[in-house]
Amino acid sequence: MGRHFDDGQRVIHVLRGLELSVGERESIAVVGESGVGKSTLLHILGALDRPDAGDVELDGQSLFTMSPADLAKVRCRSLGFVFQFHHLLGDFDAVENVMMPLLIAQEHRAVARKRATETLTRVGLRDRLHHRPGQLSGGEQQRVAVARAVVGRPRVVLADEPTGNLDPVTAGEVQALLFELQKEQGCSLIIATHSRTLAQAMDRTLRLADGVLRPEAV
């Protein structure tokens, strides 16, 4: 897999012939210096960006040869994404934010609301269902983001620095929550992180440097 960017004066090769195979229920930490391409890698794995060369396959099926409509369905049903800065919709409450992937996947609204409510309850936000993001703490907003990522029971959850913007106690709570949900749902988990503690808790740690991934002991 390859990906480069052109800043007008030079071509920056972020990913160079990168290869990654993820096992079922496996957890992988991707570490590396800021700016090496960890977010780019996760965006491509989550079909939010396209590589210049290579492909991403899920269960042997190529994502980037799909029609836009089919790719949108896979993204909503099989892939969950947690961003560092949660990216919640400010005009919608917690339930409505978590419902979004199900509605995009054309789930019935009543079913989507029920599942969103159940998932938010599971992540400890039963009393915050109808609060908008601006009414929630940073940790609560990230819990909503986690709930949104897992509400559709995806095959793979990708998280980009999910604890990087939180205080240590809240970061530990969100980390524990991610692992609990992974165990309950049986999904694979790929996390880009600077946290040594988080990396140590994963099945494998890979360092991204010079556009390639290499195993790293932590």
Per-residue DSSP letter, 118:
H
List the chain domain ranges.
3-215
Burial class (CB in 10 A: 0-12, 13-18, 19+), 186: exposed
Listed in sequence order, the residues at least 6 apart from 32 whose beta carbon sits closer than 8 Å to its beta carbon are: 38, 207, 208, 209
CB 167 within 8 Å of CB 198: no
Given a cut of 90, whether residue 54 has pLDDT beyond it is no
116 within 8 A of 99, measured Cβ to Cβ = yes
Give domain 3-215's CATH architecture: 3-Layer(aba) Sandwich (3.40)
pLDDT in tens, 173-182: 888 999 999 9
- Of all residues in the chain, the percent with pLDDT exceeding 90 is 41
pTM: 0.89
28-43 exposure pattern, b = at least 16 Cβ within 10 A, e = fewer = bbbbbeeebbbbbbbb
**Pairwise pLDDT comparison (112 vs 56), residue with the higher score:** 112
**Who's near 78: CB < 8 A, 6+ residues apart?**
58, 154, 155, 156
